[in-house]
Amino acid sequence: MMPEGQGAPASPQAFRSSPDRGSSGPAACPPPQLPAPGSPESPAPRRGAIRASFPQKLAEALSSQYGLNVFVAGLLFLLAWAVHASGVGKSDLLCFLTALMLLQLLWMLWYVGRSSARRRLKDTHAGARWLRGSITLFAVITIILGCLKIGYFVGFSECLSATEGVFPVTHAVHTLLQVYFLWGHAKDIIQSFKTLERFGVIHSVFTNLLLWANSVLNESKHQLNEHKERLITLGFGNITIVLDDHTPPCNCTPPTLCSAISHGIYYLYPFNIEYQILASTMLYVLWKNIGRKVDSHQHQKMQFRSHGVTLGSVLGLAALAATIGVVVVYLIWIGRSKPRSESALLMFYLYAIILLILMGAAGLAGIRIHRLDEQSLDESKNPARKLDADLLVGTASGSWLISWGSILAILCAESRPPYTWYNLPYSILVVVEKYIQNLFIIESIHREPEKLSKDIRTLQVVTVCNGNATSLPSSCFESRPAAGDVAPQGSEMPHAANGNMCLGEVGSKEEQKSWEGALGPACHPRFLQGNAQRRVLRNIAAFLFLCNISLWIPPAFGCRPEYDNGLEEIVFGFEPWIIVVNLAMPFSIFYRMHAAASLFEVYCKI
């Protein structure tokens, strides 16, 4: 949980200079630049460079520290409630969360009202349309969850405190307004260093994180209770089992309805959890973007095309169907009797091993194809992408923690039931598959959009391969958008024109040779296979996307062999292992949804 609060948003200079570099080449000698008086950033940039009355670094540190303190205080409230601390009730916790949400509501209203007057710069990488779409979906389910909770409160209103009714109402309003806010403002690049904006955004980030932690805790308690009930049937009755039940001490008026609501709530929690974490990542990107200097147009629109991915989709959908089947059977069998439980575990391990092998192979193939393709990576600054990569590796660590725990337990256990031998390859494969998949995704999201670079390369190839080996001084090729640059959207043709203009210039013999060497592979027949490669990559992305959705389902809906196989609990002890799983599992679950989101982006980009 280390804060990335201080993540240096790089030197503004680096960004200010990039449009220059984009159009250098023969035109590399611009007249001494005077600040354009009309541009929005020009008023006093020189003055700002000399007198920074409230420097960005300080504003960042101020707000990130405030946010961390809110978060830490909230975590302790959650801990206090989780361990039944004396004097800290559920209503205190809900009061605290409600207050945070109300504060955020006020701030969002202020921001929306204030923004309607002025136009802001936009980060086209942030808040992609599909991201906003999926957050809306999750938000709708969250609001349904809120309604169920209100129903639950009405049913048990005799013995529940008012806060348990106020909280879901506030939460529903908060969800509605937040989704509206994210639709309108997730791409904003706030240019004023006004304290109130920074504090508001970071407050929103950590409020959502706390709501996430709250949901995770509720879900974990529920899962743990179910697990404890099941555990006895597997023959591990010697573990002290105390159910941590929060059923209110009074009767609900229509009992069947109440029990239906209780069940419904727990099936909707996983979506609420995804909603909260997704909202906080989008808000975090908004926070990181505050004060950034970027060109207003720097991004190619991504398109979703569905043709040519039959194989990947069919395989992926088959995996999805298999998963749903396995989960249903697992949930029916587990905890009925010892042999039934063992069969359920065996079935789950076999299914997961096959799926993980396929996914690993697909990921390896994807990496191999990327390695064959000569293309430099786009390493320009991009908070949304950096966060994606960080989250992939960070949240995978949660699942690695559980897997290494299983591996260690299997190696050290004194007696091993037969199904544990399937646990060993399963745990190893979980580690390996995430390792491979992260590599594939990280490389893919750092690729330049295919179309742009292909166009330019084609031009180069035509120029060089025609036998017309006019030397190409390197300064000409500066006109090609370099790896670190993001080319303005409509600038492909001017670049090409620049390239041609350079052909007359003089260069040394050596350079020419190195150029031909570098471009040589592009003349190779392999270059013609570009479309086939792209189709294979798109199939891989589609397959992995559906597989990640599949693997999100089992842990989110209570199919958790890490609990049920019982071996780790014997080796580590019940309490320590439960703490490890409860801390790591939320990250592991989030990993799958996040990887799926990233793979969707990869798919659209190819």
| CA dist 243 → 232, 234, 267 (Å) | 13, 17, 20
Nearer to a copy of itself, 30 or 249 (CB): 30
Nearer to a copy of itself, 264 or 425 (CB): 425
- Give the nearest distance from C-beta 17 to a copy of itself in angstroms: 6
Q: Contacting a copy of itself (CB under 8 A), which of 296, 310, 508, 531? A: 508
Nearer to a copy of itself, 106 or 518 (CB): 518
Interface with a copy of itself, residue 21, by CB under 8 A: yes
Distance of CA 161 to the CA centre of its chain: 36
| CA dist 314 → 306, 320, 543, 544 (Å) | 12, 10, 8, 12
CA distance 57 to 279: 24
Interface with a copy of itself, residue 509, by CB under 8 A: no
Amino acid letter for position 32? P
Among residue numbers 405 through 444, which ones bind a copy of itself (CB under 8 A)? 405, 407-408, 412-414, 431, 435, 438-439, 442-443
Q: Contacting a copy of itself (CB under 8 A), which of 9, 127, 566, 586? A: 9
- With CA atoms as reference, report the closest residue to 167 among 107, 80, 92: 92
Among residue numbers 23 through 82, which ones bind a copy of itself (CB under 8 A)? 25-26, 28-30, 32-35, 37, 44, 46-53, 55-58, 61-62, 64-65, 68-69, 72-73, 75-77, 79-80
Nearer to a copy of itself, 343 or 516 (CB): 516
Among residue numbers 458 through 497, which ones bind a copy of itself (CB under 8 A)? 473-475, 477-478, 482-485
Nearer to a copy of itself, 26 or 248 (CB): 26
CA distance 530 to 537: 10
Amino acid letter for position 126? A
**Tally of residues, the chain:** 606
The token pair at 172 is 């529903």
Residue 33, helix vs strand vs coil: coil
Which parts of 125-194 fold into alpha helices (H)? Answer: 129-155, 163-185
- Give the nearest distance from C-beta 16 to a copy of itself in angstroms: 9
Nearer to a copy of itself, 102 or 439 (CB): 439
Q: Contacting a copy of itself (CB under 8 A), which of 319, 396, 589, 604? A: 396
Interface with a copy of itself, residue 169, by CB under 8 A: no
Among residue numbers 560 through 579, which ones bind a copy of itself (CB under 8 A)? 570-573, 576, 579
Interacting residues of 52 by C-beta distance below 8 A, sequence separation 6+: none
Nearer to a copy of itself, 66 or 267 (CB): 66
Nearer to a copy of itself, 86 or 256 (CB): 86
Among residue numbers 84 through 123, which ones bind a copy of itself (CB under 8 A)? 84-88, 92
The vertex-84 CA angle with 79 and 86, nearest 5°, equals 105
What is the number of alpha carbons within 13 Å of residue 45 lying toward its C-beta?
15
Q: Which of the 8 DSSP states describes residue 447? A: B
The token pair at 159 is 């013995």
Nearer to a copy of itself, 33 or 39 (CB): 33
Identify whether the C-beta of residue 134 lies closer than 8 Å to the C-beta of residue 593: no
The token pair at 522 is 């592009």
Q: Contacting a copy of itself (CB under 8 A), which of 401, 459, 461, 465? A: 401
DSSP for 145-162?
HHHHHHHHHHHTTTTS-T
- Give the nearest distance from C-beta 543 to a copy of itself in angstroms: 21
CA distance 282 to 137: 15
Q: Contacting a copy of itself (CB under 8 A), which of 519, 529, 535, 553? A: 519
Interface with a copy of itself, residue 235, by CB under 8 A: no
Q: Contacting a copy of itself (CB under 8 A), which of 266, 267, 404, 527? A: 404
Nearer to a copy of itself, 111 or 591 (CB): 591
DSSP H/E element including 257: helix 255-288
Interface with a copy of itself, residue 8, by CB under 8 A: yes
- Give the nearest distance from C-beta 473 to a copy of itself in angstroms: 6
The token pair at 11 is 């030197």
The token pair at 173 is 């309003």
The vertex-500 CA angle with 494 and 505, nearest 5°, equals 125
Among residue numbers 345 through 384, which ones bind a copy of itself (CB under 8 A)? 371, 374-377, 379-382
